[in-house]
Amino acid sequence: MPPKFKFTRDEITNAALNVTRKNGISGLTARALAAELGCSVKPIFGLFKNMEEVGQEVFIASDLLYQNYLREDMAKGKYPPYKASGMAYIRFAKEERELFKLLFMRDRSREKIEENKEEIRPLMQLIQQNLGISEDEAYLFHLEMWLYVHGIATMIATSYLDWDDEFISRVLTDAYMGLKYRYTEGKDNAGN
């Protein structure tokens, strides 16, 4: 009869998520996870092949948590939906620094930005509806806006900035309005 483990995969994944929150993904070791669980490493390796598999589960759990941030902030109605997505991204960076780094500050050299186009399609559609611009323009608009949002989030996640939500909201509005002008009213002055 196979040994009975006192932890489930979900419990181990949640403990691994906590270790990652405290120590970053590089601090997620079998020893650190066992200490978090208060056990030996045996239950971990009874349910997972190796620490790489645990790390993959932490990545998935981190992404699910981030997706919850997006859904919650967009549903609250405090900001227009497109702005709420940027505010959620930045809030995630502020509240879940190590998980933000795991998801958005890792080596992504093997990924192609075009592969993520389907993920952002709902945001592109919001931009198209709000501004009356083409899909290609909405894609470029989002890329430029995302560079700005990601820059703020990265500086917050690395403790370079400590801006409050009101100030962040204001600077995002400024960036959005500048891009809106360029993509709508400023088309005649393009290149200047």
Q: What would the DSSP string read from start to end of 48-61?
A: -SSHHHHHHHHHHH
**Residues 6+ away with beta carbon under 8 Å from 143:** 113
Residue 71 pLDDT:
96
pLDDT at position 166 is 96
Q: Strand, helix or coil at 108?
A: coil
Unique residue bearing structure tokens 């820059």: 151
* Cα gap 63→103, rounded to integer Å: 7
Q: Which two tokens stand for residue 121?
A: 């399609």
Q: How confident is the model at residue 187 (pLDDT cuts 50, 70, 90)?
A: low
pLDDT of residue 136: 92
What is the mean predicted confidence (pLDDT) over 112-126?
A: 82
Which of 50-54, 106-110, 186-190 has the weakest average pLDDT?
A: 186-190
Percentage above 70 pLDDT, the chain? 92
Minimal CA–CA distance to 156: which of 92, 63, 107?
92
pLDDT tens digits, one per residue of 49-71:
999 999 999 999 999 999 999 99
Domain assignments of the chain as residue spans, ordered by start: 1-76, 81-192
Q: What is the reported pLDDT for 86?
A: 97
Q: What's the pTM value of the predicted model, to 2 decimals?
A: 0.89
157 and 100 in contact (C-beta within 8 Å)?
A: yes
* pLDDT given at position 72: 96
Which H or E run contains 11? helix 9-23
Q: CATH homologous superfamily of domain 1-76?
A: Homeodomain-like (1.10.10.60)
Band (pLDDT 50/70/90 cuts) for residue 6 is confident
What local confidence, expressed as pLDDT, does residue 5 receive? 59
Task: Give pLDDT, residue 4.
Answer: 58
Mean pLDDT for the stretch of residues 15-37: 97
